Structure 1
Amino acid sequence: MAGRDRDPDRGKVVSTVLARRLGGELLRMREACGMRQPHAAEVLAASVSKVAKMERGGVPMRDPDIRALCHLYGETDEVVIERLLALARTDRERRKAQGWWNQYPQLPAMVEYVALEDIATSIRTWQLAFIPGLLQTPDYARAVAVGAGSWEDPSDIEPFVEARLARQARLRSERPLGLWAVIHEGVLRQLVGGRDVMRQQLGHLLELAVLNTVKIQVVPFLAGANPGMIGAFSIVSFSEPAALDVVHMDVPSSTLWLESEEDAARHGRTFDRIARVGLAERNAIALIETIRKEL
């Protein structure tokens, strides 16, 4: 499940997904060689409670500590060690980031995902129900929020819309986020907010599709049964060669993170199969234009 912690230096909410994955791998290594937390604490000249926090992903980890633990646990494969170091570096950079998303305490479920999105280099997303957040117009985002009917305080909807728009800045920034979005045709025909809102939203998709970093495909109704019917998901990727992808899924009761190499690879294969049954980019654009004209 998703995890968050509070940065003691800045008092802000931060994501612990990467740190928990790193801590979990070190925990498995320790247990595999039959050692206990006091052994790790002695090598690090730290307390047992600190080792416990490290294994739970509650604190950032230094490179020397990771190397010391790997040596203690008998791990000598430099590929494995470099992968752990890459995870630690990415986690530390994410913790240092003065993230704009911390301006929105009303949106705790979004904080962790956006924190990762901000340091990601690319995202692959498959959507069955709505336009991906990075591609939504303000009116569409607002209509989605109103339609969900799950807001205890309606005044929180505007911060939600503002956050959606702030996220989109990455698509045109100096370090642009690569986005590959595969969308079901039903999403394009669902009148979220009414005809005018949808016409504007589809026009926005056409505008973004010309960006070199944005790729949009559509799975048409004619594709019939397809691998994407299992549900929507996003795969977040990072620049470090050793950093594993993270899979993000929203379920009714919570936000689900899949952090293992196996899960990332399985969803990557599923995404590729979905993309293969989707229309080629030029044909997807033509379909979006047709639907927009119909409105």
Structure 2
Amino acid sequence: MAGRNPDRGVSVSTVLARRLGGELLRMREVRGLRQAHAAEALSASVAKVAKMERGQVPIRDPDIRALCHLYGETAEPVIGRLLTLARTDRERRKARGWWNQYPQLSAMVEYVALEDIATSMRTWELAFVPGLLQTPDYARAVAVGAGSWEDPGEIEPFVEARLARQARLRSERPLELWAVVHEGALRQLVGGRAVMKEQLGQLLDLARTDTVTLQVVPFLAGANPGMIGSFSIVSFAEPGALDVVHMDVPSSTLWLESEDDAARHGRIFDRIARVGLAERNALDLIEAIRKEM
């Protein structure tokens, strides 16, 4: 996970910085130059250039222009786009986020920071109700069931943090969420029947808001593209900010930030949505399952 150490300050996303650094790296390589040449042009160390190209440090406007000059890039639209990326990244690094008061989110701090500034998200969930739609009791049952907490006292702050994330759905700049959930996730008795009945009720309520679109892939859909596993696609308004694909694997969190990866997962999501029930039918199914509870 990239970002500053939470113990030293505010951890924020460097997704734009990695995009910017990657473009500068490609420009340098096309010219056949080494990092030492870039370092000399900036009167900086090779180590600093390496950090810039990995998106680990903010990049100043004069450095952007100096590197573009070195790499032979004179097109103002291209330079202007790089400057916008750099300025947006610098502003984001200085922003204070509500998530910093929750140490329990340390493993997800970059994802939550991205989520906080995203304009929209598409998420496919195979086994769980999406985190942004979970009730407190459901989130608590998931945390307890995971069995990975060394200190049980950390579970409640984790639940509070999860609820704080949901504020984006009803904020002045609401996150647009398109969630597709497998029927199995709705029938799994997480926390027991009472917890699930409340959770399904909340899904019905949220799905009737303007910012949430909810679909369900039923068991009857059979084999489908979603069987590869859950993932989320996070989208942003900033110029040059590509969609970011996020998924959790047993040993780590995986980020896919290339244009090809984002497009590929976008196509997969579309295919999953096509085999899912239309929203009205999805809500009917959720209501039927809720009555069974």
Q: TM over 0.5, yes or no?
A: yes
| 1:244 maps to which of 233, 242, 246 | 242
Contact 2:68 2:74 in 1 (8 A): yes
Percent identical residues: 83
C-alpha spacing 1:222/1:92, structure 2 compared with 1 (3 Å): same
Find the aligned partners of 1:90 and 1:229 in 2 and give their Cα distance: 36
Match of 1:30 in 2: 28
Contact 1:123 1:178 in 2 (8 A): yes
Taking structure 2 as the reference length, what is the TM-score of the superposition? 0.94
| 1:193 maps to which of 191, 194, 208 | 191
1:64-100 superposed Cα distances (whole Å, 9 cap, x missing partner): 4223323322335566545534433432232121111
Match of 2:264 in 1: 266
Q: 4+ residue stretches of structure 1 with deviation over 4 A?
A: 76-83
Contact 2:125 2:230 in 1 (8 A): yes
Match of 1:87 in 2: 85
Find the aligned partners of 1:265 and 1:287 in 2 and give their Cα distance: 30
How many angstroms does 1:240 deviate by?
A: 2.1
| 2:219 maps to which of 203, 221, 231 | 221
How many angstroms does 1:15 deviate by?
A: 2.8
1:74-130 superposed Cα distances (whole Å, 9 cap, x missing partner): 335566545534433432232121111111223321111001111110110000010
Match of 1:142 in 2: 140
Q: Which structure 1 residue ranges, 5 or more long, are not aligned?
A: none
Aligned-partner residue type, residue 156 of structure 2: E
> Secondary structure of 1:107's match?
helix
Find the aligned partners of 1:41 and 1:153 in 2 and give their Cα distance: 46
Match of 1:4 in 2: 3
C-alpha spacing 1:235/1:84, structure 2 compared with 1 (3 Å): farther
Contact 1:94 1:115 in 2 (8 A): no
C-alpha spacing 1:55/1:135, structure 2 compared with 1 (3 Å): same
The count of aligned residue pairs is 293
Match of 2:179 in 1: 181
Contact 2:10 2:97 in 1 (8 A): no
C-alpha spacing 1:196/1:78, structure 2 compared with 1 (3 Å): farther
Taking structure 1 as the reference length, what is the TM-score of the superposition? 0.93
Residue 277 (1) aligns with residue 275 (2): yes
> Secondary structure of 1:192's match?
coil
1:246-266 superposed Cα distances (whole Å, 9 cap, x missing partner): 110100000010011111110
Find the aligned partners of 2:279 and 2:153 in 1 and give their Cα distance: 38
